[in-house]
């Protein structure tokens, strides 16, 4: 069994901060957010600690994005184990999840309709801070700066509402899209994490230029597609 890497108190603090941000919003924090939260003078100090965590193999850093921090699956498991019984699963049979992978979604039909299911993955429940209902294959690079890349598998928990800042899966007419959610006085904004893409504005009657809006779920985890090969 691989020995758990020894972390300094500061590294553990940063790891906990990354984990809590992912639990709360579905995405890791930026270097600037880590620096502000922990009182560092600059984002460079946060970067140095993140590089140290990456060298110890507990996180993975994705270049070119402000939120390119990924927790390794064994890191998530270790975190859950170290935090005690509130994270433990009562029955061994519940420790694995059978999650359908959703491919192309036909217009007007439920996202989990049988014809949309490409295959099913058996994954450990401890990989996710909240229990997902399905995996969605990410298409395109509109969420690049949140560390969500084309071909990644997004773990999604079914939901009909979201809080500001959460990453959501939304249906707009004939398309299913992944964006950051923001409720405004006049409706909803679906915000990309890539300056090459425009914010989608949804009016109070839940319509947009791309079609009628429906919230399908919340992002609760991410699996790089090459991890499943």
According to CATH, the topology of domain 9-87 is: Arc Repressor Mutant, subunit A (1.10.10)
- What does the CA dihedral 21, 25, 30, 33 come to, rounded to 10 degrees? -60
Q: Which of 10-14, 32-36, 83-87, 121-125 has the lowest mean pLDDT?
A: 83-87
User: Of how many residues is the chain composed?
Assistant: 229
Q: Is the pLDDT of residue 213 over 70?
A: yes
Q: Is the pLDDT of residue 166 over 60?
A: yes
The segment(s) of the chain belonging to CATH 1.10.10.10 are 9-87
The segment(s) of the chain belonging to CATH 2.10.109.10 are 93-228
Tell me the pLDDT tens digit for each residue of 47-70: 899 999 989 888 888 766 667 787
Alpha helices in the chain (DSSP H): 9-25, 31-38, 43-55, 73-82
pLDDT at 79: 56
Secondary structure (3-state) at 222: strand
Tokens of 217: 């779920």
**pLDDT confidence band for 87 (50 / 70 / 90):** very low
- Annotated catalytic residue 179: yes
Tell me the pLDDT tens digit for each residue of 181-190: 999 999 999 9
Active-site position among 4, 6, 98, 179: 179
- Annotated catalytic residue 4: no
Q: Is the pLDDT of residue 35 over 50?
A: yes
Tell me the pLDDT tens digit for each residue of 66-84: 677 877 766 666 655 554 4
d(CA 27, CA 155): 12
Looking up tokens 């999650």 gives: 99
Ordered DSSP codes for 25-43: HSSPPPHHHHHHHHT-SSH
pLDDT at 22: 72
Name, in order, each residue with C-beta under 8 angstroms of 221's C-beta and a sequence gap of 6 or more.
Answer: 22, 127, 128, 129, 132, 154, 155
Active-site position among 142, 160, 163, 207: 142
**Per DSSP, what are the bridge partners of residue 121?**
99
Q: What superfamily does domain 93-228 belong to in CATH?
A: Umud Fragment, subunit A (2.10.109.10)
pTM over 0.75: no
Q: Is the pLDDT of residue 121 over 90?
A: no
């Amino acid at each position: 069994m691989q020995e758990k890497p020894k972390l300094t108190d500061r590294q553990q603090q940063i790891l906990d901060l990354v984990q809590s941000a992912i639990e709360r919003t579905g995405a890791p924090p930026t270097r600037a957010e880590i620096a502000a939260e922990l009182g560092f003078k600059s984002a460079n100090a946060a970067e140095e600690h993140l590089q140290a965590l990456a060298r110890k193999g507990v996180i993975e850093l994705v270049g070119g994005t402000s939120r390119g921090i990924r927790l390794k699956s064994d890191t998530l498991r270790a975190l859950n184990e170290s935090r005690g019984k509130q994270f433990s699963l009562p029955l061994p049979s519940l420790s694995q999840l059978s999650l359908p992978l959703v491919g192309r979604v036909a217009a007007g039909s439920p996202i989990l309709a049988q014809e949309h299911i490409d295959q099913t993955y058996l994954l450990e429940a401890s990989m996710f801070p909240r229990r997902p209902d399905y995996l969605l294959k990410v298409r395109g690079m509109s969420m690049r700066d949140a560390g969500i890349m084309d071909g990644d598998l997004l773990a999604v928990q079914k939901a009909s509402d979201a809080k500001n800042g959460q990453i959501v899966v939304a249906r707009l007419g004939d398309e299913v899209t992944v964006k950051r959610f923001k409720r405004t006085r006049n409706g909803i904004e679906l915000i990309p994490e890539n300056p090459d893409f425009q914010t989608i504005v949804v009016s109070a009657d839940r319509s947009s230029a791309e079609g009628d809006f429906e919230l399908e779920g919340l992002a609760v985890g991410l699996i790089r597609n090459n991890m499943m090969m």
